[in-house]
Amino acid sequence: MKQKIYQVDAFADKLFSGNPAAVCPLEKWLSNETMQQIATENNLAETAFYVKKDTQYEIRWFTPAVEVDLCGHATLATAFVLFDIENHPGNEIRLYSHRSGLLTVTKNNQYFTLNFPADTLQSIELTSEITNGFNIKPHLAFKGKTDYLLIYDNENEIRSLKPDLNIISKLDARGIIVSSKGEKNDFVSRFFAPRVGVNEDPVTGSAHTTLTPYWSGILNKKELTAMQLSERTGFLICKNLDDRVEISGQCKLYLSGEIYI
């Protein structure tokens, strides 16, 4: 069986930046085992699979290790494939996840905009279990639906962080978001998720469902610019809609081809 596959750099204005994701358009769902094997073989942070159903698309996301509830950059990459390669009509795509509900993506020139549910945050104690995972101690900690959020004093601290991946992988969370106010952008971040097979994610759209409401409240702004300070880096434009978040970025096609199953 031959299966189409694309590899797309998401949240990227040029190749070899942003976050690479694989996208597999399906006529019908493959087995969970097969999709996980494909994602493991791809060895990218995320592989997205979608199936057209009536006027919308069902979507699922897999890391090299597990299926996840939500992935922003792979959803952005999926929208790019649908709009720019598979010729989806109009400027809006409706995607449905059995784990995260309805998601929409709109296109405006070169930018694709995700509309995701906003995360809810609970302030938590800065325990040694959390702070021992990094060489610099944060001054605030929060817990969202799937991730911890640690707040630092400045961008230099975010750049200088050295994670202990063994400690982080034992925390009861998908991953750890670290963030501070930015120097040229409203806020900056990094994201570590060794528990799900991603030591440091280049650009994490879903983490910005957590970051956007937080920094919107702190900075008293609805629209914000953000930079994820991974080695590849990625630029995002975020908008707080209270119970929803808009996250915008560009995409670049790196690879198209076929895999043999």
Q: Over the stretch 223-235, which tens digit does the pLDDT of each residue have?
A: 999 999 999 999 9
* Residues 97, 206 contacting (CB under 8 angstroms): no
> Over the stretch 35-86, which tens digit does the pLDDT of each residue have?
999 999 999 999 999 999 999 999 999 999 999 999 999 999 999 999 999 9
Q: Return the number of other C-beta atoms located less than 10 Å from residue 151's C-beta.
A: 18
pLDDT at 251 over 90: yes
Which band of pLDDT confidence, cut at 50, 70 and 90, is reported for residue 195? Answer: very high
Q: Return the number of other C-beta atoms located less than 10 Å from residue 153's C-beta.
A: 12
> Kind and range of the H or E element at 56?
strand 56-62
Give the alpha-carbon dihedral of 38, 40, 41, 44, to 10 degrees.
100
CA distance 62 to 35: 8
256: β partners: 6
Nearby residues of 152 by Cβ (< 8 Å), 6 or more positions away = 136, 138, 139, 158, 161, 178, 179, 180
* Maximum alpha-carbon separation in the chain: 53
Residues in the chain: 261
The residues assigned a catalytic role are 46
> Over the stretch 203-228, which tens digit does the pLDDT of each residue have?
999 999 999 999 999 999 999 999 99
CA distance 216 to 210: 10
> Kind and range of the H or E element at 165?
helix 165-168
Mean pLDDT of the chain: 96
CA distance 187 to 116: 19
Token pair of 127, please? 């325990």
Query: What are the two backbone dihedrals, phi and then psi, of residue 223, each rounded to the nearest 5 degrees?
Result: -110, 130
pLDDT at 197 over 90: no
Q: What is the mean pLDDT of residues 11-39?
A: 97
Q: What is the mean pLDDT of residues 112-117?
A: 94
Query: What letter represents residue 140's amino acid?
Result: L
